[in-house]
Amino acid sequence: MEKQYKKELLKEMWQKMNLAREFENRVQWLFSMGLVHGTTHLGVGEEATAVGSILALKARDYVFGTHRGHSQAIAKGIDIDHMMAEILAKATGVCKGKGGSMHIADPDIHYFGADGVLGTSAVMCCGTALAIRKKKEEDRISVVFFGDGSSNEGAVFEAFNLASVWNLPVLFVCVNNTYGMSTPIAKVMKDTDIAKRAIPFGMPGESIDGNDVLAVYDTIQKAREYVLKEGPMLVVENTYRISGHSKSDGNLYRTKEEINAWKEKCPIKQFRSYLTSHEIFGEEELDEMVRQAKETLDHAVEFAKSSPEPDVNDIYEDVYA
């Protein structure tokens, strides 16, 4: 028999995936209006990896996100108004306008954020897991997201080893969107089955369809149980980045056909057809929730735009504790 899910859970998945998509659309738009300073890495097409994974965790679990982490922050439950304010570098931003898109974080909800230096989050994640163990906290794990490209960083291999030799409650989640910037994985790894990298470290590794939010949810739920009982594990979530790498991507390294083929496999589209064909929600109900997501974002953009800039006199604040 097919697995049954609580309606509330499915609703939350739908809402958060749409919030994440709509968030990216708005950032893209703000960017094109010249309102965003610096750069951003958007993750249109990757929503199921973040939402499916994080909804399978407990609120108290630590999560380290990626530079392409807006959807991870949203899934973790960050305040959308304050996150948008961060994108616009406002004083009301989650990082007081000091971090920006690449550093969205909220330690209050145990989200240790996007990081700009690839690979490092994996080792820091071992540290939070070590703290969980030393503090004898029960039912808590540490999760790190990292990309296929980042998986080649030395720090990631060191993290695999540390987590396994110390048997830490770490869940490694590799978001494999098949490219690191313009570089296809086959150019930078001889065996592209990243899940196999768990084997020499004595960890289980699993490779799944990262565009199927329920498959992601099921896998991570089981993985969490495993990590709590047995130790670290690696899950590779296979997906695709519809967005360009960052603001300056001419898409010279891939074809329109390839992008369009993946648009067909859109995780939100797929989930919609699951929800309607199983008669969990009707089309109108789903549309209504999408409309609500848009409203939430309307509000967030307004909030962000009308928020004050940080005070230049506070520049030294937060350098030291």
Ligand X SMILES: Cc1ncc(C[n+]2csc(CCOP(=O)(O)OP(=O)(O)O)c2C)c(N)n1
Print the binding letters for residues 148-167 with another protein: x by CB under 8 A, - otherwise: -xx-xxxx------------
When binding is defined by CB under 8 A, the residue of 15, 28, 99, 215 that contacts another protein is: 99
Label residue 317 left, alpha or beta by phi (over 0 means left) and psi (-120 to 50 means alpha).
beta
Residues 240-279 that bind ligand X (CB under 6 A): 241, 245
- Nearest residue to ligand X by CB is 147
Nearest to 291 by CA among 84, 7, 75, 15: 15
> Is the Cβ of residue 252 or residue 321 nearer to another protein in the bound state?
252
CB 42 within 8 A of CB 27: yes
Give strand pairing partners of 207.
Answer: 236
In the list ligand X, another protein, Mg ion, none, the entry touching 15 (Cβ below 5 to 8 angstroms by class) is none
With contacts defined by CB under 8 A, how many residues of the chain interact with another protein?
A: 39
When binding is defined by CB under 5 A, the residue of 61, 148, 153, 237 that contacts Mg ion is: 148
Q: What are phi and psi of 147, to 5 degrees?
A: -85, 170
Lookup: tokens for 115 = 């990081």
Q: For residues 71 and 56, what is the distance between their CA atoms, to the nearest angstrom? A: 15
> Is the Cβ of residue 117 or residue 199 nearer to ligand X in the bound state?
117
In the list ligand X, another protein, Mg ion, none, the entry touching 68 (Cβ below 5 to 8 angstroms by class) is ligand X
DSSP E strand boundaries for the chain: 62-64, 142-147, 170-176, 179-180, 183-184, 205-209, 233-238
Q: Give the nearest distance from C-beta 191 to Mg ion in angstroms.
A: 17
For residue 203, the SS3 value is coil
CB 64 within 8 A of CB 143: yes
> Is the Cβ of residue 116 or residue 308 nearer to ligand X in the bound state?
116
In the list ligand X, Mg ion, another protein, none, the entry touching 253 (Cβ below 5 to 8 angstroms by class) is another protein
Q: For residues 205 and 216, what is the distance between their CA atoms, to the nearest angstrom? A: 14
Q: What b/e readout covers 119-152, taking b as 16+ CB neighbours within 10 angstroms?
A: bbbbbbbbebbbebeeeeeeebbbbbbbbbbbbb
Print the binding letters for residues 176-195 with ligand X: x by CB under 6 A, - otherwise: -x-xxx--------------
When binding is defined by CB under 6 A, the residue of 117, 165, 186, 199 that contacts ligand X is: 117
CB 203 within 8 A of CB 236: no
Residues 149-168 that bind ligand X (CB under 6 A): 149-150
Using the rule CB under 6 A, is 65 a contact of ligand X? no
Q: For residues 318 and 293, what is the distance between their CA atoms, to the nearest angstrom? A: 33
When binding is defined by CB under 8 A, the residue of 118, 198, 286, 304 that contacts another protein is: 118
Question: Stretches 15-23, 34-42, 220-228, 260-268: which one binds another protein (CB under 8 A)?
Answer: 34-42
Nearest to 195 by CA among 214, 174, 211: 174
Binding site for another protein (CB under 8 A): 37-39, 89-90, 95, 97-100, 102-103, 115-119, 149-150, 152-155, 180-183, 187-189, 248, 252-253, 309-310, 312, 315-316, 319
Binding site for ligand X (CB under 6 A): 66-68, 116-119, 147-150, 177, 179-181, 241, 245
